[in-house]
A = this chain, B = another copy of it.
Amino acid sequence: MLDTAETFLEALSANGLVFPTGVDGIYGLDGRFETVVQAVDDFITREGQDDGAERVRFPPAMPVRQLERGGYLKSFPHLAGTVHCFDGDERDHRDMLRRIEAGEDWSDRQSASDIALTPAACYPVYPMLAARGALPDGGALIDVLSWCFRHEPSIQPTRLQTFRMREYLRVGAPEPIVDFRHDWLRRGTAMIERLALPYRIEAANDAFFGRVGQFMADNQKSQELKFELQIPINAGEPPTACMSFNHHLEHFGDLWEIRTADGALAHSACIAWGLERMALALFRHHGFDIGQWPAGVRAALWP
């Protein structure tokens, strides 16, 4: 029954856990699904609660200017989404409605606004930090969550167009950044073990655009700048990245001119969880009835 991505989606839908909307990768979620997403989010909070992270939350949209300066459109133009709005008059509106009625394209009536959809939870954090001036001694540790958008429609329920990403982001001098990622590789793995989920850790790369992008991807992988914690979810498909451990070196420090207390360009690293993917992994391996999940898993999620 769960042999392919499509049938897992069908099974989720048949069990009333997700509601198709007619667009791949855009689904409504039942309260049980949402309860698991919330529990995973809370589990991450408890795991990190003694680290003293600053908690910030950003909306699903951010300034286009920040996406431009943050380098996203250079690396991932094909995944970005910009928000366009109507600024016409009543005559234009009548024409729009006539075209909708006739099933014609009316998108040329929409003009670009100054906002885009947030592509990763940490993207709005760099300009926030930059605006504060030099980092404090010891750097910064940020706890962030955001709805994110990536334009990659798919029938795999693990590849949503809109999804929630929770992150811990560490910004500061090179050495503590390396330690942070190393530490979380261990802690993140232990969390997945408490959830009794099968996994593997792999060196990975982001889905950079084009031929130059392929070079960047190879480079990222060979330098081991990105690790993924992958869990088999869609049978017959490669396992799904449910966590990622990303070392940015001074990429964002340079783009945003974020400096450490002693004036050097800041390095950064982030640990990210895909919250819907974590929930899907739990449903896939422990079943659709949350009440029947193993006692240890339930104790980890609802202590």
Binding site for B on A (CB under 8 A): 19, 21-23, 26-31, 33-34, 54-63, 65-66, 68, 73-74, 77-78, 80-88, 90, 93, 96-97, 100, 105, 107, 110-115, 117, 124, 127-128, 131, 143, 147, 149, 151, 160-163, 209-212
Contact = CB atoms under 8 A, between A and B. Distances in A.
Given A61-B162, A86-B77, A112 B114 contact: no
A140 to B, nearest CB: 13
B112 A105 contact: yes
Given A22-B127, A33-B57, A60-B117, 15 more contacts: A21-B63, A21-B127, A26-B59, A30-B56, A31-B143, A59-B161, A60-B162, A68-B100, A77-B86, A77-B88, A78-B86, A82-B83, A82-B85, A84-B110, A85-B151
B81 A113 contact: yes
Which of A34, A59, A209 gathers the greatest number of chain B CB atoms within 10 Å? Answer: A59
Contacts of A58: 28-29
21 contacts: A19-B131, A21-B62, A23-B62, A26-B59, A28-B57, A28-B124, A28-B128, A29-B58, A30-B56, A31-B54, A59-B162, A60-B147, A60-B162, A61-B161, A77-B86, A78-B86, A81-B84, A83-B83, A83-B151, A84-B110, A110-B112
Given A28-B56, A28-B58, A210 B93 contact: yes
